[in-house]
Amino acid sequence: EVELRPDLEGDLRLLDVEDKSSVEVTANSMTMREYAQRLEAHNQRLVEECTRMGGRCSLVEVGTPLDKVVRDVLRRGGWVAA
């Protein structure tokens, strides 16, 4: 949820937790709208690539417990047997 709809405003330094790099940004309505558009395009490319390769994908929030992912996403989607 936080990554999909971040509640940010003002001048910020964002830190990449994977490589520890940082970038300074000004979060306002224009930058947040662009972020949302780019994220949506990125996620759509992931879906398209998975589909092209014969796979499937589903967006799951980082903090979602594994049992909930299996029950709510994989089983209901018909990806695994009930």
Q: Give the predicted TM-score (pTM) of the model.
A: 0.70
pLDDT at 44: 95
Spell out the per-residue pLDDT of the chain, length 82, in tens.
Answer: 677 788 889 999 989 989 999 999 999 999 999 999 999 999 999 999 999 999 888 888 888 898 888 888 788 777 777 6
Tokens of 28: 């306002």
Hey, which bits of 31-70 come out as E strands? Answer: none
* pLDDT for position 82: 66
Q: What is the DSSP string of 8-52?
A: --EEEEEE-TTT--EEEEEESHHHHHHHHHHHHHHHHHHHHHHHH
